[in-house]
């Protein structure tokens, strides 16, 4: 028995030492990789719930990224960011940094809905069908009315469809321009940290992004380093125009995510300072993506649609009642008529109650209003929204960034005068003529040299940064 056991152990050891077949080795490697990915996904999911509470070492472990020497000082950054070889795997796992667009119907299906959809259009097409029946089946002589009425319906629907498709195309073009922005990203290449310019759509969880004043936050970030006095504008999410400070310190576990000062969210803007942020949420996993998913419901009907539907119901009841009464009256009339004349009279009484000109009149009026709004740089995606805007009696809105552009402008130079211990002011527009009298040129030189604003690469001649810095630089630069 002992000898048999020894032989069995020897055979077991021999089998363990034998190499696995190629297919089994590949399968084992895939299983191990799947387990590693599942573990990383579990840690990443937990991190998305509370990204503001972990320490830097916990963030490094959860996202599988390097955070050694993380600081605003470039010289101290030894190992920072993800390995470039892992980017493709992260992108296949988490997808692109884009919000999933809502499902859109084909433009031709939308055109057919504009032509044949809606209670009023259905009533008009019933009129056309009845006219055609009277003309070709009962031998009527009016063949022009159904053709003209069909042309009016198709033309009105096509005009409305064209306007909405044009506005939709402009909106999509603007969204594509906004998503084409590049950001500074730190990644590892052959064990060395490198600084790259990466499209915002190509960011993945674990990337290290460096942002400056004036830049839009491309994803949900955990601030791992920032300069003193860094401010972020969260008005895109909260509606609050007052900029909020940001810090790299850990937040208490009892604090809500939206109230944490060490997190910045996608869609917000850096107003002042510089920061290094660790991407923990992209695309639909961002706070903005979660909000978009919750409101991605069917479009509510406009007040115009509700009013027209109510009006059409009344017209339909009246038209059917008049048509039926006319039919009964023609049948009971002492002047006997054949079936063709009875149906013709009843159909005529029915058609007389239907306002065929209502559809083109409403469409043309709304098109004129949308054209006027387009001249004021307002895109109308749904043409009936113009009437809804006209129904507004009281509009409550904040000022900064909504009624105003959120920009500042330097209007005057103030120069101290030693002789009188006072201050002399000169308008920026007259700075050239006043430059010899006041020491404005030296003041303007200080304003240009001591600024955090930078030229905007997307708009030549303009600058990006905090509104105050941009206003000072724009006012001092011509002098």
- pLDDT tens digits along 132-177: 887 887 777 778 888 888 888 898 888 888 878 877 777 676 566 5
pLDDT for 23 = 54
* Structure token digits, residue 56: 């830097």
pLDDT for 8 = 39
Cβ atoms of residues 281 and 48 within 8 Å:
yes
Say which residue the tokens 């469409």 belong to: 363
pLDDT for 113 = 87
386-397 confidence digits (pLDDT tens)? 777 777 888 877
Query: pLDDT below 70 — which residues of the chain?
Result: 1-49, 69, 71-78, 171, 173-180, 295-299, 398-406, 419-420, 431-438, 458
pLDDT for 437 = 53
- CA separation, residue 11 to residues 4, 14, 21, 35, 346 (Å): 11, 5, 18, 30, 101
239: left (phi over 0), alpha (psi -120 to 50) or beta: left
Cβ atoms of residues 160 and 360 within 8 Å:
no
Widest pairwise Cα distance in the chain: 123
The DSSP secondary structure of 356-382, one letter per residue, reads TTHHHHHHHHHHHHHHHHHHTT---SS
pLDDT for 12 = 39
C-alpha angle 132-328-349 in degrees, rounded to nearest 5:
45
Q: Report pTM.
A: 0.60
pLDDT for 429 = 75
Active site amino acids? 398
Say which residue the tokens 């056991």 belong to: 5
pLDDT for 400 = 59
């Amino acid at each position: 028995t002992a000898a048999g056991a020894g032989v069995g152990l020897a055979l077991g050891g021999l089998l363990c030492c034998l190499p696995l077949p190629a297919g089994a080795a590949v399968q084992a490697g895939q299983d191990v990789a799947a387990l590693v990915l599942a573990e990383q996904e579990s840690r990443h999911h937990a991190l998305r719930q509370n990204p503001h509470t972990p320490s830097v070492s916990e963030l490094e472990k959860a996202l599988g990224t390097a955070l050694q020497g993380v600081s605003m000082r470039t010289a101290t950054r030894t190992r920072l960011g993800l390995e470039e070889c892992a980017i493709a795997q992260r992108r296949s796992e988490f997808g692109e940094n884009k919000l999933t667009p809502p499902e859109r119907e084909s433009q031709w299906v939308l055109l057919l809905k504009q032509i044949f959809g809606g209670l009023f259009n259905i009533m008009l097409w019933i009129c056309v069908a009845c006219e055609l029946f009277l003309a070709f089946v009962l031998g009527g002589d009016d063949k022009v009315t159904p053709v003209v009425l069909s042309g009016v319906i198709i033309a009105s629907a096509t005009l409305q469809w064209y306007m909405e498709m044009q506005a939709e195309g402009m909106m999509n073009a603007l969204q594509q321009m906004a998503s084409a922005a590049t950001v500074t990203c730190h990644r590892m290449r052959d064990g060395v940290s490198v600084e790259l310019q990466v499209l915002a759509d190509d960011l993945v969880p674990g990337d290290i992004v460096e942002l400056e004043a004036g830049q839009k936050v491309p994803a949900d970030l955990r601030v791992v380093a920032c300069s003193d006095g860094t401010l972020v504008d969260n008005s895109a999410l909260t509606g609050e125009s007052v900029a909020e400070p940001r810090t790299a310190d850990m937040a208490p576990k009892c604090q809500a995510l939206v109230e944490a000062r060490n997190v910045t969210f996608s869609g917000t803007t850096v107003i002042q300072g510089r920061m290094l942020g660790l991407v923990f949420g992209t695309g639909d996993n961002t706070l903005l993506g979660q909000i978009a998913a919750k409101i991605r419901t069917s479009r509510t009907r406009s007040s115009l649609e509700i009013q027209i539907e109510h009006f059409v119901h009344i017209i339909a009841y009246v038209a059917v009642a008049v048509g039926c009464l006319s039919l009964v009256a023609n049948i009971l009339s002492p002047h006997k008529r054949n079936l063709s004349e009875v149906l013709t009279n009843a159909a005529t009484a029915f058609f007389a109650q239907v306002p065929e000109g209502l559809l083109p009149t409403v469409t043309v009026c709304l098109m004129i209003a949308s054209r006027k709004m387009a001249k004021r740089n307002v895109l109308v995606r749904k043409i009936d929204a113009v009437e809804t805007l006209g129904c507004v009696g009281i509009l409550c809105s904040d000022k900064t960034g909504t009624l105003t552009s959120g920009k500042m402008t330097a209007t005057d130079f103030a120069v101290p005068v030693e002789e009188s211990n006072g201050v002399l002011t000169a308008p920026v527009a007259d700075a050239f003529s006043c430059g010899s009298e006041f020491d404005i040129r030296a003041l303007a030189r200080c304003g240009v040299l001591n600024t955090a604003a930078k030229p905007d690469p997307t708009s030549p001649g303009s600058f990006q940064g905090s509104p105050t810095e941009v206003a000072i630089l724009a006012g001092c630069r011509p002098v």
